A and B are shown apart, each in its own frame.
Chain A
Amino acid sequence: MDALTWLEGTMIAQAIRETPWMYPAFETTHYIGLAMLVGGIMLIDLRLLGFARDLPLPPILGLLPWVWAGFAINVVTGTLMFVYGATSFGTNRMFWLKMTLMALAGVNALVFTLSTRSADWIASGHAPGRIKAIATLSLALWLGVMAAGRWMAYV
């Protein structure tokens, strides 16, 4: 609790509190980041599951930089919003559910990356069953992240 109170008293938190447009700007940018992050993930996962087979896999997997850019934007804006309201976010169970689901999605993405190291299925355009399982789990986890994120304001 002390760390959360300290965070809320930092200069950054004070600056956000005293500048009325800052918080809405972070929230809006967080949504743009969301569209890039989950938009990219959704297109990759759906293609792995067999949707839009006319699109070759390599350029679809090449959308990953958008995912990383969206993730970076949301880590920065998310951290700033957390600092602003540390004592309420830090004690919000939906916030911690969101963080847990994101960590799981991260592990899932790491497993996927390791699975694509030596993958002859990429050229064939058909993902094997274990990759489809990873893609399904990824869609479910990010849906959960979004839902928990929205629910934070209501608990």
Chain B
Amino acid sequence: MDFLAWLESTALATAVAETLWAYPLLETLHAVGMVMLVGSLGLINLRVLGYKPALPIAGMQTLLRLAWIGFTLNAISGVALFTSDAVHFFSSYTFRIKLVLIALGGLDAAFVTRKIFPDSRAESSGEFAVEADAPTKALAAASLAFWIGAVIAGRLIAYTP
């Protein structure tokens, strides 16, 4: 708890808490990052599940960049929002659930993408599965659930203990 109290006393935390436009700006960036992350990962996962077969799976690797930009944006804006009210956020069960869902969603996405995209280090000849196998599809479905769950938990932090 001492660490959390220290976080709240940092210059960043007081700036976020006391500057009129800082909080809504960070919240907007957090929403934009969410759309980038969930939008692009969502389409990749839906494609793995068989949606829009006209989209080549290999061509979707570019969308991962978008997901990473969204994730980075949200890690930064999320940390800044967290510091402004660290004690409250840390003690919130909904916040903890959100973090667990993000960890699971990230781990899951790592498995799915490793399975469907060719290893960039190897001299790829484009030889990889055209369609995903059943375990990968199950992971893609779970990924959708984790990220939707993270969005839901994020919204509910303000309303739950």
Contact = CB atoms under 8 A, between A and B. Distances in A.
B39 A35 contact: yes
Given A31-B155, A54-B58, A58-B54, A63 B36 contact: no
Which are the 3 A-B pairs with shortest beta-carbon distances? Answer: A39-B39, A54-B59, A52-B62
> Looking at chain B, what size class is its interface with the partner chain?
20 to 34
B40 A43 contact: yes
Interface string B17-35: 0001101100110011011
> Looking at chain A, what size class is its interface with the partner chain?
20 to 34
Given A32-B152, A62-B52, A150 B43 contact: no
Query: What does DSSP make chain B's interface, helix, strand, loop or mixed?
Result: helix
Interface of A: 24, 27-28, 31-32, 34-35, 38-40, 42-43, 46, 51-52, 54-56, 58-60, 62-63, 143, 146-147, 150-151, 153-154
Contacts of A43: 39-40, 43, 63
B148 interface: yes
A141 to B, nearest CB: 13
